Chain A
């Protein structure tokens, strides 16, 4: 009797564990696919698109997660195949440093302009 109970518990825990694994996967897949561009659509993400390419991409992302790859590695994998263009969030690299920095510089510049026009008395 005790043995049966033990097997039952192990079995259920495994099921729950696997279920959570998959549940986690779909959230991860969603997150990653939202950040990838569907290459045969005009301006849709892989998450949004129902095209063949997008559907296959989602399956492949799932596979890669199961292989143990993390988010960064998966993005790198696709960038290697298709170029930087496929990832929506521009990483901070030599190419994109200005992209991130210019608005901030402008903000500081604006602040300075205002301070110069203001007096405290």
Chain B
């Protein structure tokens, strides 16, 4: 019964979509009398229907309704309630329904919050967004339906992957999707603004809120994913340049660039074409990423569904949207301001362009690294791997000029400024930074060539952004975000340079010496839990100052039969002690891996700071 409700609500939403597309396209022929009211009612119905559909899926999971194929494939009666609920979006079909939900609700919110703007613009945004929505509805209803019926009704489900039973991972998709799907509004409204000749300050001010919201959610979503990977995947890393991670990072680069560009558009009414191009690109990357991840074309530990036929649908859909956007851009770009605006070399506008320049470079590195293997394989059949070394080698050197620009750029004035105002204080801070970095390199014998300039500029930016808190020149949100960024760079540098790891096969009672610490394998206990068997080991890490007790765990699940390793992490503000162990064939021996990771908490904290800056920007009352 619930299945039917879920399914039929989607069909109603589909009809609503068709209606909305036809009605809103009337506005092109300037037949827009009383359209507003009609569109509002049908939009509400559509959002309501998708909401009902989504909740009926959650309900089916909660009551373990195994007549629903999705529930059967992804749940189990012994799963705790919280994970039953999060299981509803932790699978291919459910996650698409979540995408759809956000698409419709965001559109509804957009429509009611844009009443002060040109009607034609609002209705066109509805049109473009509905084109996206209808694509998703068709995709869900005909290839990825979460309400398929199973008969005879199985008594038990085939279980949720135990690795997915984690709080961070449960909320990571919804937050990430709010980020991804937010870019759809930016896309639709950019096209609408283009058609209406409305790409100006007013539109910029209005769309900025959407850009910031998307950006905040995307940033936090990526952060959650990293935190989850660090705590749960048990390898001690938090970023692997895995294709699925890259796919979330690419729209982030675009959104960050767009966020800065929209400020220029709002203030000075220039860079219109570029803003539109960025808006189109951001959403294309979001959707393209969805394609890459769900089609099976990429090889990754994260991949969802490996179904090429689904991939073809998304690919064609994406092509249609992109071609549409390109067409509209070229047809309507005459409406964009034609004057060849040149900006002065030393100015905030140019500084923001430089930011965009670097963002696009980083984007291109990640994009090419991710899709190059696909291209190469199709063109000449060879298969290569592109892993962390590639990304690091291309990105890290460019961080040096980027940090330098970040130290100078944000403080420049609009229109025209000069660099001769470098004052004594700044010079002192610069020398101080170089001195500290030099000391670090000499003291610890760091051999990596670029470490000196990286540390120096990292510290310089750090000091400058702190100093900024005492000046009135920029907004609080900028101060916090940029400071957060400098903190992020420094934490990553320290963490990467001074992290140490140790790996060995040990049995109970063994002791190993590592650096200035002694690692002792105290004992191991076996505990039977609800749906798994748990092996809990106790280790003591001791040095001159104190003793840390760590209890890593290995879990043996039975439905489906998998082994997972839960790391034991002791975190404080100075460093993390990370310990993980694995069962190996040698009876009585376990493979133990210990890592000393300085400043881990600061990495998370700095990203939270960056997001806080964004949140402040969103909440700021308009001048």
> Are B301 and A85 in contact, with the CB atoms below 8 A?
no
> Are A37 and B350 in contact, with the CB atoms below 8 A?
no
> Are B302 and A43 in contact, with the CB atoms below 8 A?
yes
Measured between beta carbons, the chain A residues less than 8 angstroms from B380 are 95
Query: Does A68 have its Cβ within 8 Å of any Cβ on chain B?
Result: no
Query: Does A4 have its Cβ within 8 Å of any Cβ on chain B?
Result: no
Measured between beta carbons, the chain B residues less than 8 angstroms from A41 are 301
> Are A102 and B357 in contact, with the CB atoms below 8 A?
no
Measured between beta carbons, the chain A residues less than 8 angstroms from B389 are 35, 88-89
What 12 additional pairs, Cβ within 8 angstroms, besides A89-B393, A96-B384?
A43-B243, A50-B591, A55-B584, A86-B385, A99-B372, A102-B368, A103-B365, A110-B357, A114-B353, A117-B341, A119-B343, A121-B344
Measured between beta carbons, the chain B residues less than 8 angstroms from A119 are 342-345
> Are A103 and B242 in contact, with the CB atoms below 8 A?
no
Docked complex: B350-389 residues within 8 A CB-CB of A: 350, 353-354, 357, 360-361, 364-365, 368-369, 372, 376, 380, 382-389
Q: Could you list 22 A-B pairs, sorted by A, with CB under 8 Å?
A: A43-B301, A44-B301, A45-B387, A48-B235, A52-B585, A55-B584, A84-B383, A84-B385, A88-B388, A89-B389, A90-B384, A96-B372, A96-B384, A98-B372, A99-B372, A103-B368, A106-B360, A111-B357, A117-B343, A117-B353, A119-B342, A120-B344
Query: Does A80 have its Cβ within 8 Å of any Cβ on chain B?
Result: no
Closest CB in chain B relative to A46 CB, distance in Å: 11
Closest CB in chain A relative to B543 CB, distance in Å: 19
Query: Does B572 have its Cβ within 8 Å of any Cβ on chain A?
Result: no
Measured between beta carbons, the chain B residues less than 8 angstroms from A110 are 357, 360-361
A104's nearest neighbour on chain B, judged by CB, is B394
> Are A84 and B382 in contact, with the CB atoms below 8 A?
yes
Query: Does B501 have its Cβ within 8 Å of any Cβ on chain A?
Result: yes
Query: Does A71 have its Cβ within 8 Å of any Cβ on chain B?
Result: no
Instruction: Name the one of A42, A55, A99, A111 contacting B301, with C-beta atoms under 8 angstroms.
Output: A42
Measured between beta carbons, the chain B residues less than 8 angstroms from A85 are 383-385
Measured between beta carbons, the chain B residues less than 8 angstroms from A86 are 385
Residues of A within 8 A of B (CB): 26, 30, 34-35, 37, 41-45, 48, 50, 52, 55, 83-90, 95-96, 98-100, 102-103, 106-107, 110-111, 114, 117-121
> Are A35 and B387 in contact, with the CB atoms below 8 A?
yes
Query: Does B332 have its Cβ within 8 Å of any Cβ on chain A?
Result: no
Closest CB in chain A relative to B396 CB, distance in Å: 13
Bound state CA distance, A65 and B566, in angstroms? 32
Bound state CA distance, A79 and B174, in angstroms? 41
> Most A CB atoms within 10 A — which of B301, B565, B585?
B301
> Are B384 and A50 in contact, with the CB atoms below 8 A?
no
Bound state CA distance, A42 and B298, in angstroms? 10
Closest CB in chain B relative to A11 CB, distance in Å: 20
Instruction: Name the one of A55, A83, A99, A120 contacting B386, with C-beta atoms under 8 angstroms.
Output: A99
Query: Does B300 have its Cβ within 8 Å of any Cβ on chain A?
Result: yes
> Are A118 and B361 in contact, with the CB atoms below 8 A?
no
Bound state CA distance, A89 and B387, in angstroms? 6
B395's nearest neighbour on chain A, judged by CB, is A103
> Are B343 and A88 in contact, with the CB atoms below 8 A?
no
Closest CB in chain B relative to A34 CB, distance in Å: 8
Bound state CA distance, A82 and B372, in angstroms? 20
Bound state CA distance, A30 and B499, in angstroms? 14
A91's nearest neighbour on chain B, judged by CB, is B384
Measured between beta carbons, the chain B residues less than 8 angstroms from A50 are 565, 582, 584, 591
Measured between beta carbons, the chain B residues less than 8 angstroms from A37 are 385, 387
Measured between beta carbons, the chain B residues less than 8 angstroms from A118 are 342-345, 350, 353
> Are B299 and A42 in contact, with the CB atoms below 8 A?
yes
Bound state CA distance, A44 and B163, in angstroms? 15
Bound state CA distance, A37 and B299, in angstroms? 11
Query: What are the 3 A-B residue pairs with the smallest beta carbon separation, nearest first?
Result: A88-B387, A89-B389, A43-B301
Bound state CA distance, A107 and B350, in angstroms? 16
> Most A CB atoms within 10 A — which of B302, B344, B345, B387?
B387
Measured between beta carbons, the chain A residues less than 8 angstroms from B300 are 42-43
Known interface pairs A41-B301, A42-B299. Does A88 touch B344 (Cβ–Cβ under 8 Å)? no
Known interface pairs A88-B388, A89-B387. Does A114 touch B350 (Cβ–Cβ under 8 Å)? yes
> Are B386 and A90 in contact, with the CB atoms below 8 A?
yes
Bound state CA distance, A71 and B365, in angstroms? 26
Query: Does B82 have its Cβ within 8 Å of any Cβ on chain A?
Result: no
Measured between beta carbons, the chain B residues less than 8 angstroms from A84 are 382-385
Measured between beta carbons, the chain B residues less than 8 angstroms from A55 are 584, 591
Instruction: Name the one of B242, B341, B372 contacting A43, with C-beta atoms under 8 angstroms.
Output: B242
Known interface pairs A30-B503, A50-B591, A103-B361. Does A87 touch B385 (Cβ–Cβ under 8 Å)? yes
> Are A90 and B584 in contact, with the CB atoms below 8 A?
no
Measured between beta carbons, the chain A residues less than 8 angstroms from B584 are 50, 55
A111's nearest neighbour on chain B, judged by CB, is B357
Measured between beta carbons, the chain A residues less than 8 angstroms from B591 are 50, 55
> Are A88 and B342 in contact, with the CB atoms below 8 A?
no
Measured between beta carbons, the chain A residues less than 8 angstroms from B299 are 42-43
B502's nearest neighbour on chain A, judged by CB, is A26
Measured between beta carbons, the chain A residues less than 8 angstroms from B538 are none
Bound state CA distance, A37 and B373, in angstroms? 14
> Most B CB atoms within 10 A — which of A41, A103, A106?
A103
Measured between beta carbons, the chain B residues less than 8 angstroms from A99 are 368-369, 372, 386, 390
> Most B CB atoms within 10 A — which of A43, A83, A95?
A43
Query: Does B165 have its Cβ within 8 Å of any Cβ on chain A?
Result: no
> Are B357 and A114 in contact, with the CB atoms below 8 A?
yes
Closest CB in chain A relative to B332 CB, distance in Å: 22
B505's nearest neighbour on chain A, judged by CB, is A55
A115's nearest neighbour on chain B, judged by CB, is B345
Bound state CA distance, A119 and B382, in angstroms? 47
Closest CB in chain B relative to A109 CB, distance in Å: 10
A86's nearest neighbour on chain B, judged by CB, is B385
Measured between beta carbons, the chain A residues less than 8 angstroms from B398 are 107
B365's nearest neighbour on chain A, judged by CB, is A103
Query: Does B144 have its Cβ within 8 Å of any Cβ on chain A?
Result: no
> Are B385 and A90 in contact, with the CB atoms below 8 A?
yes
